[in-house]
Amino acid sequence: EAGVAQSPRYKIIEKRQSVAFWCNPISGHATLYWYQQILGQGPKLLIQFQNNGVVDDSQLPKDRFSAERLKGVDSTLKIQPAKLEDSAVYLCASSPWEGTNYGYTFGSGTRLTVV
Partner 1 sequence: DAKTTQPNSMESNEEEPVHLPCNHSTISGTDYIHWYRQLPSQGPEYVIHGLTSNVNNRMASLAIAEDRKSSTLILHRATLRDAAVYYCILRDVGSNQFYFGTGTSLTVIP
Interface with partner 1 (CB under 8 A): 4, 31, 33, 35, 40-45, 48, 55-56, 91, 93, 95, 98-101, 103-109
**Cβ closest to partner 1, residue 50 vs residue 76:** 50
**Cβ closest to partner 1, residue 55 vs residue 84:** 55
Q: Computed over its alpha carbons, how large is the radius of gyration of the chain?
A: 13
97 HSE (CA, 13 A, CB side): 1
Q: Measure the N-to-C terminal CA separation of the chain; round to a whole number of Å.
A: 37
- Confirm if 35 and 46 have CB atoms less than 8 A apart: yes
CB 16 to partner 1: min, Å:
28
CB 100 to partner 1: min, Å:
7
